[in-house]
Amino acid sequence: MKEAMLYEKLEEEKVKCHLCPHSCVIKPGKRGICGVRENRGGVLYTIVYGKVVASHIDPIEKKPLFHFYPGSRSYSISTVGCNLRCLHCQNWEISQYTKLHSDVAGEDVTPEDVVKRAEVTDCQSISYTYTEPTIYMEFAYDCARIAHEHGIKNVFVSNGFTSPEAIELIAPYLDGINVDLKGDEEFYKKIAGARLGPVLDTIKIMKDKGVWVEVTTLIIPGLNDSEDFLKWTAEFIVSVDPTIPWHVTQFYPAYKLTDRPRTPVSTLRKARDIGLKAGLKYVYEGNVPGEGGENTYCPHCGELLIERFGFQLLKINMKNGKCNNCGTVIDGVGMP
């Protein structure tokens, strides 16, 4: 148990959490929507501090981050809990854990433990992922500060439903982020239990703060695969920065959304074409290894620069962050 950050005390021992845009007002003995922040006697506590439920060594491409130290490894951690309730969540067993169980699962570890494990496994970064890192901000924050002292980068894989105050807190220690831009306002309301506006704000604020940003849209047939939505999404990203990579990713049935088919590759191809036509420099097709849409091409001359198969890098045709053919600088952090 650790006292939470970013909350205010109200009368009658109530508290108001400012970690995410839900801004939960929590009565004594109750928890917020995320299920991991609890009011005890007028003090808000995080009940998942140091309770790591998942830890793996992942390729950075799995996040997915394609323009952030390509080919490197990232020590990836998570606690239980989430501030969304996405009906298609692939990690629902841990994201929705506190809504299904009375205990708090996880191995007790310290921030120092996390950084040490990243060091000894030769990981260039720590990724806060699998569930929403915003909801375990206190632990992520402590890990991130120590990681920077040791020269290790920090990455959020996030739903973007984060308050400006929380972004202000973590941004000085955050090097990269992949934000899910899931759908339109109706999609967020019906499928995710959230709102679109704060996600758009997160993308803009993170970019303004100097964090490397990539965006992912999991395309679900019949829900967010319309040409109008895809065009709107691409144009929004362009309005923030056309160098932000956009990952358009194949959906497969999961959790409570098993009545939808896998996304056709043709839909991903259409989305990629829409993104490039809108002015994005880098658009990638996800979850379809070998189809060619996961490769990095020079936005100036079209040269194949990084050939991928899934999360593996097969070929690199660039040097010092530049295209070998025309010398164009390729946007990113730690590019080969």
- Max Cα-Cα span within the chain: 67
Residue 94 to residues 4, 62, 70, 89, Cα–Cα distance (Å): 21, 19, 28, 10
Contact 167, 206 (CB under 8 A): yes
Contact 74, 63 (CB under 8 A): yes
Query: Nearest-CA neighbor of 170 among 150, 157, 156?
Result: 156
How far is Cα 104 from Cα 81, in angstroms, rounded to an integer? Answer: 9
For each of the domains in the chain, give its residue range(s) and CATH number, in order of start: 2-46 (no CATH), 51-294 (3.20.20.70), 299-331 (no CATH)
How far is Cα 286 from Cα 59, in angstroms, rounded to an integer? Answer: 15
How far is Cα 71 from Cα 288, in angstroms, rounded to an integer? Answer: 18
Mean pLDDT, consecutive 10-residue segments, the chain of 336 residues? 96 98 98 97 98 98 98 98 97 94 93 98 98 98 98 98 98 98 98 98 98 98 98 98 98 95 97 98 96 95 96 96 98 98
DSSP class of residue 18? Answer: -
Burial class (CB in 10 A: 0-12, 13-18, 19+), 49: buried
- Per DSSP, helices labelled H in the chain are 92-95, 97-100, 111-120, 137-149, 164-170, 185-187, 196-208, 227-240, 265-278
Predicted pLDDT at 197: 98
- The full 3-state SS of 174-225, as one line of letters, equals CCEEEEECCCCHHHHHHHHCCCHHHHHHHHHHHHHCCCEEEEEEEECCCCCC
Predicted pLDDT at 1: 84
List the beta bridge partners of residue 8.
16
Query: Nearest-CA neighbor of 206 among 275, 247, 139, 154?
Result: 154
pTM reported for the whole predicted model = 0.97
One-letter amino acid of 47: I
